[in-house]
């Protein structure tokens, strides 16, 4: 047996007009409507070009496509597979959505980012997104060099990146993002900004911190707020912006001569062992016997900037530099990692909190495995709008997971709406009933299938509380209330577009 077609020429499509290929979109988009995504888009996004009309319809379409697994404009056609147009109204073609994205300017991208911030506050009011935010919350600011390959993309340039521990230059666009989390909650995205590929990491960080801190407060973070950053953001503007926003800062320090001198002045009796990989608890000494130790000293940073010096805590973690296997140790050698912070917590707690900043890499990994696998347009504002929409979709998935279960609340925010299929007359998670037909509506033709016939006479009739054939859940302007009931999934179908 041999394959008769080249794999590159095979296009897998869900073309069964009797089934819904992305049943998981129903509760997710219902949550989006109740949080006011369509109303916010219609209120704030105002594009003057002809292709920019009906933002209240096209923005939810793009978000729904990303949740369904689309990572390019052409993949938005997944919303028209099977009987999805029966459940959702206002679905637009990929070409229409692409023209809508290309009609964005930098000013209208800022309008879309405002939608993102207010939508996050709406989600936080309807789902337990950030438990414990009334006590302690963190804002993590970081950047990512997003590699692109198209030579016609606006703004692309070579910028620094690190892959598998190696520093190199990548041609692409630079993403600046801020995420909010708590010790009990997975991160949600507070703000995004697309920059040229050769942009320095700290460029625009001060305004991003101010914006993200305001978003965190609007999302219910009424307790202590700590802004965490890596060494690329070590500077007076970022630290002062955190203080102006009413937050604390915790930033990794670059090891310059002044910092090295401050570390060398720490006495040996000031170091405290901490719980670290391969640490052992000694019952007699009542302390950790560890290869890592922590100490603290007061430090004044940024003295070279007139009037911008900041005095705070320099917390240093040192890790024993292990000798090669089989080689004896003449004396202990240490590697030092310092952070500059005004955190109100104890030394060991503040140092442990700062190490949690590494989870922003998981946020970028979720993006890369999801809607940000590509920056699909040659237009820079279009890609910036795509980035903001990707952040909206990630937050929406996180909120849906928090409402589903504790395990889903911390699961990676990957596209998950394509895991089930159902009859268009039955919504997942509703009471069981028998549906008389699996067709979208009698006598109508599907885009990818033949015309549907009337229900066979031997089937049971619908109950009065069931939706009639052809019932739609619009992408925008849905009336509030509970979703209609219907039949459970009748069969399992594989829905994919590659």
* CB hemisphere CA count around 465 (13 angstroms): 10
H helices of 446-497, where?
Answer: none
**CB-based contact 145:174 (threshold 8 Å):** yes
Pair (226, 155) in one structural domain: yes
At 52 the pLDDT is 93
Name the pTM for this structure: 0.80
Quick check: is 55 in a domain? Answer: yes
Residue with tokens 């809607």: 371
Pair (77, 151) in one structural domain: no
Pair (158, 128) in one structural domain: yes
**b/e string for 33-64 if b means 16 or more Cβ within 10 A?**
bebbbbbbbbebbebeeebbebbbbbbbbbbb
Quick check: is 498 in a domain? Answer: no
Report d(CA 99, CA 90) in Å as an integer: 16
Pair (358, 213) in one structural domain: yes
**123 to 120, 270, 323, 469: CA distances (angstroms):** 5, 46, 51, 31
Report d(CA 148, CA 154) in Å as an integer: 11
Q: If DSSP codes are grouped into helix, strand and coil, which group holds residue 446?
A: coil
Pair (180, 283) in one structural domain: yes
Q: Could you give the number of structural domains in the chain?
A: 2
At 405 the pLDDT is 85
Quick check: is 484 in a domain? Answer: no
Pair (323, 277) in one structural domain: yes
**264 to 268, 276, 304: CA distances (angstroms):** 10, 23, 21
**CB-based contact 122:341 (threshold 8 Å):** no
Q: If DSSP codes are grouped into helix, strand and coil, which group holds residue 28?
A: helix
Quick check: is 479 in a domain? Answer: no
Distance between the two ends of the chain, CA-based, in angstroms? 24
At 23 the pLDDT is 85
Quick check: is 482 in a domain? Answer: no
Pair (432, 379) in one structural domain: no
Range of the domain at 427: 7-103+421-474
Pair (45, 149) in one structural domain: no
Pair (148, 56) in one structural domain: no
Pair (432, 349) in one structural domain: no
Domain end, chosen from 370, 386, 409, is at: 409
Residue 182 sits at φ, ψ, to 5 deg, of -130, 170
**What are the tokens at 342?**
């005004």
Mean pLDDT of each 10-residue bin along the chain, 498 residues long: 64 73 89 95 94 95 94 92 88 96 96 97 95 96 92 91 84 96 95 95 95 97 96 95 96 94 93 79 67 92 90 92 59 84 95 92 89 92 97 95 86 59 48 32 37 39 39 44 38 35
Burial of 231 (0-12, 13-18, 19+ CB in 10 A): middle
Pair (324, 248) in one structural domain: yes
* CATH, residue 232: 3.90.350.10
At 407 the pLDDT is 82
Quick check: is 242 in a domain? Answer: yes
Quick check: is 495 in a domain? Answer: no
At 73 the pLDDT is 94
**CB-based contact 20:84 (threshold 8 Å):** yes
**What are the tokens at 490?**
């009748």
Pair (461, 373) in one structural domain: no
Quick check: is 493 in a domain? Answer: no
- Assign residue 477 a region: left if phi > 0, alpha if psi is -120 to 50, beta otherwise? left
């Amino acid at each position: 047996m041999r394959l008769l077609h080249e794999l590159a020429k095979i296009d897998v499509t869900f073309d069964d007009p009797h089934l819904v290929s992305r049943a998981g979109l129903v509760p997710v988009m219902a949550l989006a409507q109740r949080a006011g995504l369509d109303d916010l888009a219609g209120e704030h996004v105002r594009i003057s070009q002809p292709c920019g009309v009906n933002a209240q319809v096209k923005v939810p379409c793009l978000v729904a496509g990303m949740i369904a697994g689309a990572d390019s404009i052409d993949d938005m056609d997944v919303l028209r597979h099977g009987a999805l147009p029966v459940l959702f109204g206002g679905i637009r073609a990929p070409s229409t959505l692409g023209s809508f994205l290309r009609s964005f300017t930098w000013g209208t991208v800022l309008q879309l980012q405002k939608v993102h911030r207010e939508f996050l506050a709406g989600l936080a009011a309807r789902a337990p997104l950030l438990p414990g935010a009334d006590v302690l919350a963190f804002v993590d600011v970081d950047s990512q060099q997003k590699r692109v390959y198209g030579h016609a993309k606006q703004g692309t340039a070579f910028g620094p990146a690190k892959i598998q521990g190696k520093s190199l230059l990548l041609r692409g666009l630079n993403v600046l993002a801020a995420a909010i989390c708590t010790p009990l909650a997975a991160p949600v995205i507070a703000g995004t900004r697309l920059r040229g590929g050769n942009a320095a990491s700290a460029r625009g960080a001060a305004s991003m911190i101010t914006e993200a801190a305001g978003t965190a407060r609007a999302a219910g973070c009424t307790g202590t707020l700590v802004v965490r950053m890596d060494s690329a953001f070590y500077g007076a503007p970022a630290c002062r912006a955190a203080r102006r926003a009413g937050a604390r800062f915790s930033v990794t320090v670059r090891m310059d001569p002044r910092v090295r001198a401050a570390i060398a002045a720490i006495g040996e009796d000031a170091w405290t062992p901490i719980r670290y990989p391969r640490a052992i608890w000694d019952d007699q000494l009542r302390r950790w016997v560890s290869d890592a130790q922590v100490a603290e000293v007061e430090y004044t940073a940024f003295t070279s900037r007139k009037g911008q010096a900041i005095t705070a805590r320099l917390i240093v973690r040192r890790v024993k530099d292990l000798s090669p296997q089989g080689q004896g140790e003449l004396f202990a050698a240490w590697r030092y990692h310092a952070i500059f912070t005004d955190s109100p917590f104890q030394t060991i707690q503040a140092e442990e909190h700062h190490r949690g900043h590494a989870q922003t890499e998981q946020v970028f990994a979720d993006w890369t495995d999801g809607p940000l696998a590509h920056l699909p347009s040659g237009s820079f504002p279009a890609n910036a709008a795509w980035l903001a929409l990707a952040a909206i979709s990630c937050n929406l998935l996180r909120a849906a997971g928090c409402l589903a279960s504790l395990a889903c609340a911390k699961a990676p925010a990957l596209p998950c709406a394509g895991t089930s299929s159902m009859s268009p007359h039955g919504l997942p998670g509703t009471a069981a009933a028998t549906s008389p037909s699996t067709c979208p509506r009698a006598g109508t033709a599907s885009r990818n299938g033949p015309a549907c016939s009337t229900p066979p006479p031997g089937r049971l009739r619908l109950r009065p509380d069931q939706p009639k054939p052809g019932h739609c859940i619009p992408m925008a302007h849905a009336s509030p209330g509970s979703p209609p009931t219907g039949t459970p999934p009748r069969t399992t179908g594989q829905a994919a577009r590659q």
